[in-house]
Amino acid sequence: MNVFAVEGLPEIEPGDDIASLIAERVDLTPTDIVCVASTIVSKAEGRQADLSEFEPGEQAERIAEQVGDLADEEKDPRFAQAVIEESEELLMEFPIMLAVTTFGHITINAGIDRSNVPDADLLLLPEDPTASAQRLHEALGVPVIVTDTSGRPFRHGQRGVAIGWAGMPAARDWRGTYDRDGKELEATVQAVVDELAAAANLVTGEGAGGKPVAVVRDWEFGEFDGSDDLFRDEDEDLIRPALKEYSHAGD
Amino acid sequence: MNVFAVEGLPEIEPGDDIASLIAERVDLTPTDIVCVASTIVSKAEGRQADLSEFEPGEQAERIAEQVGDLADEEKDPRFAQAVIEESEELLMEFPIMLAVTTFGHITINAGIDRSNVPDADLLLLPEDPTASAQRLHEALGVPVIVTDTSGRPFRHGQRGVAIGWAGMPAARDWRGTYDRDGKELEATVQAVVDELAAAANLVTGEGAGGKPVAVVRDWEFGEFDGSDDLFRDEDEDLIRPALKEYSHAGD
Ligand SMILES: Nc1nc2c(ncn2[C@@H]2O[C@H](COP(=O)(O)OP(=O)(O)O)[C@@H](O)[C@H]2O)c(=O)[nH]1
Ligand SMILES: Nc1nc2c(ncn2[C@@H]2O[C@H](COP(=O)(O)OP(=O)(O)O)[C@@H](O)[C@H]2O)c(=O)[nH]1
Ligand SMILES: [Mn+2]
Ligand SMILES: [Mn+2]
Ligand SMILES: [Mn+2]
Ligand SMILES: [Mn+2]
């Protein structure tokens, strides 16, 4: 498996045709997988926003006040309002806003970025990353994964993760296959889009590198059943109810 | 970045010298990183165990009963006991045993495997995966990551993850660097050992493939500050207290 970044992409602006910009810079082969950082998908889709567009409601004011007290500095309730508007719900308001985005991804601040955003205060995640991946997939003719860098429970730091994908399943289902002793594997669903997004992040990096697109070459999904179930629904999630009960305990 | 599996490794047995078995099969270059599935580290370290070695206590009996009631079949309390003995604590007993292993990794069933274990009921995770990685690193002369396949909150499926590493830091610290607009990045610590473990898992896979070792070639950590803080301590963890309060609510 070979993973490399696409070189020489320009600063992306609203309306830009990312697929063409990629196709002009790399000769894709039919078995390639293209991983695109959500930041440029958002830029092309015009997801830049200014704080002035968000009118803080009661919840946003409360959150900004709590966070402000903790940090001992003024916090802008309009940012909290942006997070709320991008979310289905908040699992935790304080000291972090842990959001379920409208498309089901659980992440801090609903994935809103304040870095790498010229001429705007904020960059929101793509409205529907699966649809974005589908459009790129159709234009490029190979599977596409839209990625983000995000944190996760229990571990420090962030890693690349898939938030949308098209042209391939999200996971390899190993159930029904056998181990080295001929025993059937119990419950192994390998979330390959997340593993591919993590691999891509190793070559794109964060910060000013200017490399938002990675190509994965010579990796095969193989002869597996596929699954597109990546985001846990609330009723299959054991962590979510605990967080909700806990964080609303003081209500 | 190139990621490939080491071919032709035998079934690993207690006392086997994994480093030599790897070095005989691949010409490592000084900038390679070797990712080793914990399953063979455990096998070499004699971490096979039989259920008969575990004398269930009260907690194990209670867990087996609860899980058994749910599944409507007899559950073996000795397995629950094995998980308890491998753990610092359980964050959740039921319907899953979510364990903090003795070395700080949070995972279901304390990572005990019942697949790919010949001549024993169970395979426990290495006792100290950092020490295991350190020994392999010293013998191989390149950075080594000990990996496992494990699930994670909020998302379906499993992915490769680092449980021990040596010869390189766990994370790249991007704080103090600047984005494309010259704005300082706020809080970006890239957990590269987890991303490398995920990439390795794409070429090793699960099941009967017989490929427990992957080499990452032509990837550079680069000129970053490093951090070895990967597992969150309890007092820096926002999710853990919620889970503990929630799951012990019925006590
Ligand atoms: N060429 C180019 N690179 C960009 C642009 N925006 C961000 N990047 C680069 O894309 C990579 C990922 O950026 P990041 O902000 O981490 O995106 P995210 O992970 O999707 O939130 C970094 O190397 C950035 O320097 C852009 O408009 N053009
Ligand atoms: N050659 C060899 N391969 C093994 C052995 N044990 C497991 N494997 C392979 O190593 C890979 C990872 O196995 P898995 O059980 O998923 O390990 P884990 O992710 O560390 O729990 C699979 O391709 C297995 O077939 C062994 O003793 N020898
Ligand atoms: Mn982002
Ligand atoms: Mn990023
Ligand atoms: Mn395992
Ligand atoms: Mn595995």
Segment holding B162, helix H or strand E? strand B155-166
Which pLDDT band, with edges at 50, 70 and 90, does B165 fall under? very high
Q: Same domain, yes or no, for B90 and B140?
A: no
- Which of A103, A125, A147 corresponds to the end of one domain? A125
Q: Which domain holds residue B112?
A: 49-124
Binding residue numbers of A for GTP? 9-12, 38-39, 43, 116, 204-211
Q: Are A231 and B185 within 8 A, CB to CB?
A: no
Listed ranges B70-74, B78-82, B245-249; the one with the highest mean pLDDT = B78-82
More confidently predicted of A25 and A249: A25
pLDDT at B250: 44
- Two tokens at A29? 């082969």
B60: CATH: 3.90.1660.10
Cβ B34 under 6 angstroms from ligand 2: no
Question: Against a cut of 0.80, is the pTM above it?
Answer: yes
Asked whether A101 and A142 are in contact (CB, 8 A), the reply is no
* Residue B67 covered by a domain: yes
Name which of B61, B29, B231 is nearest B142 in CA terms: B29
Task: Find the mean pLDDT for residues A195-200.
Answer: 98
pLDDT, position A250: 44
Question: How many Å apart are CA B41 and CA B23, to the nearest integer?
Answer: 15
- Residue B36 shares a structural domain with residue B136: yes
Select, from the ranges B66-75, B80-89, B169-178, the one with the highest average predicted confidence (pLDDT).
B80-89
| Whole-number percent of chain A with pLDDT over 70 | 98
pLDDT(B204) > 80: yes
DSSP string, B21-90: HHHTT----TT-EEEEEHHHHHHHTT-EE-GGG----HHHHHHHHHHHHHHTS---HHHHHHHHHTEEEE
**Residue B243 is nearest to which of A116, A191, A242, comparing CB atoms?**
A242
Q: A23 in helix, strand or coil?
A: helix
Query: What pLDDT was estimated at residue A10?
Result: 97
A-B CB pairs within 8 A amount to 231
Of B96, B181, B230, the CB nearest to A156: B230
- B117 CB neighbours in chain A (<8 A) are 181
Instruction: Please tell me whether residues A145 and A199 are part of one structural domain.
Output: yes
Domain at A217, CATH number: 3.30.1330.100
Q: How far apart are CA A73 and CA B248, in angstroms?
A: 36
Residues of chain B found within 8 Å of residue A12, distances taken between Cβ atoms: none
**Ligand 1 atom having least distance to the Cα of A204:** 23
Q: How confident is the model at residue A187 (pLDDT cuts 50, 70, 90)?
A: low
Q: How far is the CA of B246 from the centre of ligand 1 (A)?
A: 39
A101, part of any domain: yes
Atom of ligand 1 nearest to the CA of A113: 21
Which of A11, A13, A105, A159 to mutate to probe the B interface, most B CBs <10 Å?
A159
For residues A10, B217, B126 and B87, what is the CA-based torsion angle, rounded to 10 degrees? Answer: 0
The pLDDT of residue A155 is above 80: yes
Boundary-marking domain end, from A97, A125, A153: A125
Tens of pLDDT, residues B73-98: 778 999 999 999 999 999 999 888 99
pLDDT score at A70: 77
Contact call for A194 and B157, based on CB within 8 A: yes
Residues of A in contact with B188 (CB under 8 A): 149, 158, 206-207
Taking residues A135-153, report their average pLDDT.
Answer: 97
The answer, yes or no, to whether any atom of ligand 2 lies below 6 A from the CB of B116, is yes
Flag whether A244 is in a domain.
Answer: no
The verdict on residue A104 lying in a domain is: yes
Give the number of the atom of ligand 1 that is nearest the alpha carbon of residue A206. Answer: 16
Q: Are residues A201 and A218 in the same domain?
A: yes
Residue closest via CA to ligand 2's atom 3 equals: B210
Mean pLDDT (chain A) is: 93
- Same domain assignment for residues A69 and A17: no
pLDDT(B229) > 60: yes
Task: Map tokens 């691999």 to a residue.
Answer: A199
- pLDDT level of residue B248 (50, 70, 90 thresholds): low
Distance from C-alpha of B201 to C-alpha of B45, rounded to nearest angstrom: 21
Indicate whether A189 and A217 sit together in one domain.
yes
Give ipTM to 2 decimals: 0.96
A248 occurs within a structural domain: no
**What pLDDT sits at residue A179?**
82
> Chain B closest CA to A237's CA: distance in Å?
7
Query: Is B233 marked as binding a ligand?
Result: no
Is there a contact between A3 and B243 if contact means CB atoms under 8 Å apart? no
Report how far residue B205's alpha carbon sits from residue B192's, in angstroms, rounded to the nearest whole number.
Answer: 19
> For chain B, what is the mean pLDDT?
93
> What pLDDT was estimated at residue A248?
67
Number of separate domains in chain A: 2
- A81 and A188 inside one domain: no
B201 chain-A contacts, CB cut-off 8 A: 190, 195
**Which has more confidence, B37 or B117?**
B37
The answer to whether the CB atoms of A201 and B195 lie below 8 A apart is yes
Strands (E) across A40-170 are located at 48-49, 87-92, 98-101, 106-108, 122-123, 144-152, 155-166
In angstroms, the Cα distances linking A206 to A68, A157, A213, B104 are 27, 12, 12, 27
Can you tell me the distance from the alpha carbon of B155 to that of B146, in angstroms, rounded to the nearest whole number?
23
pLDDT of res. B206: 85
Q: In terms of domains, do A99 and A219 share one?
A: no
Instruction: State pLDDT tens for residues A5-59.
Output: 999 999 999 999 999 999 999 999 999 999 999 999 999 999 999 999 999 999 9
Question: In terms of domains, do A150 and A201 share one?
Answer: yes
Q: Are strands A33-37 and A144-152 parallel, antiparallel or unpaired?
A: parallel
Percent of chain A at pLDDT exceeding 90: 77
In contact, B171 and A168? CB cutoff 8 Å: no
Could you list which residues have their CB under 5 Å from ion ligand 4? Answer: A 149, 206
